[in-house]
Amino acid sequence: MIAEAAVSKSAARSLLGRWEARLKVPALLLLVFSFAFVRDLLLLPVLVLIAAIIYALSGLPFSHLLIRARLPGFFLIAMAIILPFWSGQTIIWQLGPLALRQEGLLGLLLIVVKFFTILTVVIALFGTTSLPQLTLALRTIGIPWLITDLLLFTYRYLYQLASDLRQMRTAARLRGFTGTSVSALKPLAFIAGTMLVRSQEQSERVFQAMTLRGYGNSSLPLPSFRPLPVDFLLLAVAISLSAMLVLLQFIL
Amino acid sequence: MHIPDGILTASAAIGGYAATGGLTWFSLRRIKKQYGDPRSGIPRAALLTAAFFAASLIHIPIPPISVHLVLSGLMGVMLGWFSIPAILVGLLLQAVMFQHGGLTTLGINACLMGIPAMLAYYIFRLRFLFGREKPLTNGLLAFIASFLAVALGAFMAALLLIFATPAYLDAAAERQAIIALSLAHLPVAIVEGLFTLMVVLFLLKVKPSLLDGDQL
């Protein structure tokens, strides 16, 4: 999501950044679901190629992808430990009780490639879409206003509360709290409890202020929708690619 | 307990979206019935969602490692039916901002947190039967609700990881993997239960109205 100003400028100017979000979000969502459909190893190079082209069209630097993809894939690591040794019958290498199995290795390959290609498309999508654009796109595809309002409000308060929490923890550290054993549970619970009470009290003031400014009186109409021919062309390409992947999966 | 993209089969991912869609539709109906104008609950639910999001960044030391909190139990206890849209929004933001969890698995992950949150909500509501103001009742129910919420979430995640991935394990290995994955979450469930118990006792002293779940 365009939060970092440095990334947003080049990304917003890219082809993906200029693509009407109300078409881009459903189109790329459809595409990642078609990636999830793939079970045949022969299709994996196609996924890599599509993901690489989409990322190149996003105008995001490669380093952005590396930083985002580095975030812990706990399940991926667990899968890497379990699958090659426990899944399948064909043993390709054995050391004592440990047997490396072909089916497990291939299953792991499928999972890893799908994980990284979907992640790449998702990073490209949200790296070129601002939160208001995303919210509008979600409204257009029929997500109820209660969810989209909740999304906008939550995003608004997130940074403030994370900073409050940091402040409280710094204050606790200054008073000698180290938090390195299980006994840290009680002070941490009190910190969380204090944050919840403060949030509740603040939300009451926010709601009253918002009601005074007219929140809840009427729903504003959605901004006009004027997509360009290129927006529809990109949508058609995304739908065709998704259909091709699903079809090829059934044929192979 | 957030399952990332690419691990589950497409049918599981789509099934997760369908289940979450149904659960969300039902929760929105309940919210509308409860509030008349549900907008009144949104700023409060959003602030609490953000607070839960920030609190889940707290790492609890269980030497030699530290774990981050799931908080599905506490969310259910405090937000009631609002916890379903709140969890959905929290998971979407986590997937979008930190690539934590996944977009195709958003439906599954919302079920893994949302269903246990509602279980916790109904367990904690037993306080109305056994003594709403008694610290012992509140503490005990908070522990049980939160412990079971984490345990149920971990068990559901283990089932999905074993049965809804493209790789196949034999029946004995499947059973062992489910037991191992569920047992690995036992210390987390206990810590989360104790954490929720302490937060609930704190709130009972400081602001008991926050514990009424549907009194946002």
Cis amide bond preceding B64, omega within 30: yes
Q: What is the pLDDT of residues A97-145, one digit of tens each?
A: 777 777 778 888 888 888 889 989 998 998 898 888 888 899 888 888 8
- Residue of chain B nearest A164, judged by CA positions: B54
Cβ–Cβ < 8 Å for B3, B109: yes
3-state secondary structure at position A14: coil
CB contact set of B190 (below 8 Å; sequence gap of 6+): B147
Calculate mean pLDDT across residues B59-82.
77
- The count of structural domains within chain B is 1
Chain B positions touching A101 (Cβ under 8 A) are none
- Residue of chain B nearest A185, judged by CA positions: B195
User: Confidence class of residue B204 from pLDDT cuts 50, 70 and 90?
Assistant: very high
Residue B157 has pLDDT above 90, yes or no: no
Residue B25 within any structural domain of the chain: yes
Residue A209 has pLDDT above 90, yes or no: no
Of A73, A155, A181, Cβ closest to residue B61: A181
**Phi/psi at A99 (nearest 5 deg)?**
-125, 125
- Residue of chain B nearest A163, judged by CA positions: B54
Q: What is the pLDDT of residues A75-101, one digit of tens each?
A: 677 677 777 776 667 777 777 777 777
The residue count of chain A comes to: 252
Looking only at the bridges linking them, the beta strands covering B59-62 and B65-68 are: antiparallel
Calculate mean pLDDT across residues A213-227.
71
- In chain A, which ranges are E strands? 91-95, 98-101
- Residue of chain A nearest B53, judged by CA positions: A158
CB contact set of B158 (below 8 Å; sequence gap of 6+): B177, B178, B181, B182
Distance of residue B204 Cα from the nearest chain A Cα, in angstroms: 10
**Phi/psi at B67 (nearest 5 deg)?**
-120, 150
Cβ–Cβ < 8 Å for A137, A22: yes
Q: Name residue A118's amino acid.
A: I
- Residue of chain B nearest A204, judged by CA positions: B44
**Phi/psi at B159 (nearest 5 deg)?**
-60, -45
- A75-89, A146-160, A166-180: which range is least confident on average? A75-89
Mean pLDDT, chain A, rounded, equals 82
CA angle B157, A36, A240 (to 5 degrees): 155
Number of Cβ within 10 Å of residue B59's Cβ equals 14
Residue B1 within any structural domain of the chain: no
Mutate which of B2, B5, B9 to test chain A, going by most A C-beta atoms within 10 A? B5
Q: Which domain holds residue B159?
A: 10-212
Q: What is the pLDDT of residues B25-49, one digit of tens each?
A: 999 998 888 777 777 778 778 887 8
Mutate which of A24, A102, A112, A146 to test chain B, going by most B C-beta atoms within 10 A? A146
Reference B98, options A63, A76, A68; nearest CA is: A68
Residue A1 has pLDDT above 60, yes or no: no
HSE, side-chain direction, 13 A CA sphere, residue A181:
2
Listed in sequence order, the DSSP H helices in B99-214 are: 106-124, 127-130, 135-163, 171-184, 186-206
Residue B2 within any structural domain of the chain: no
Mean pLDDT, chain B, rounded, equals 83
HSE, side-chain direction, 13 A CA sphere, residue A2:
23
Question: Of A155-169, A217-231, B124-138, which has the strongest mean pLDDT?
Answer: B124-138
Residue B79 within any structural domain of the chain: yes
Mutate which of B3, B7, B108 to test chain A, going by most A C-beta atoms within 10 A? B7
Torsion of CA B122, B124, B130, B131, to 10 degrees: -130
- A38-42, A247-251, B177-181: which range is least confident on average? B177-181
User: Confidence class of residue A5 from pLDDT cuts 50, 70 and 90?
Assistant: very low
User: Confidence class of residue A27 from pLDDT cuts 50, 70 and 90?
Assistant: very high
**Phi/psi at A92 (nearest 5 deg)?**
-110, -15
Residue B106 has pLDDT above 80, yes or no: yes
Calculate mean pLDDT across residues A155-169.
81
Number of Cβ within 10 Å of residue A70's Cβ equals 9
- Per the model's pLDDT, the better-predicted residue between B150 and B2 turns out to be B150
Instruction: Give the pTM.
Output: 0.84
User: Does the distance separating the beta carbons of B165 and A79 come in below 8 Å?
Assistant: yes
User: Does the distance separating the beta carbons of A182 and B62 come in below 8 Å?
Assistant: yes
User: Confidence class of residue A6 from pLDDT cuts 50, 70 and 90?
Assistant: very low
The residue count of chain B comes to: 216
User: Does the distance separating the beta carbons of A200 and B47 come in below 8 Å?
Assistant: yes
User: What CATH number should be reported for the domain holding residue B159?
Assistant: 1.10.1760.20
User: Does the distance separating the beta carbons of B37 and A150 come in below 8 Å?
Assistant: no
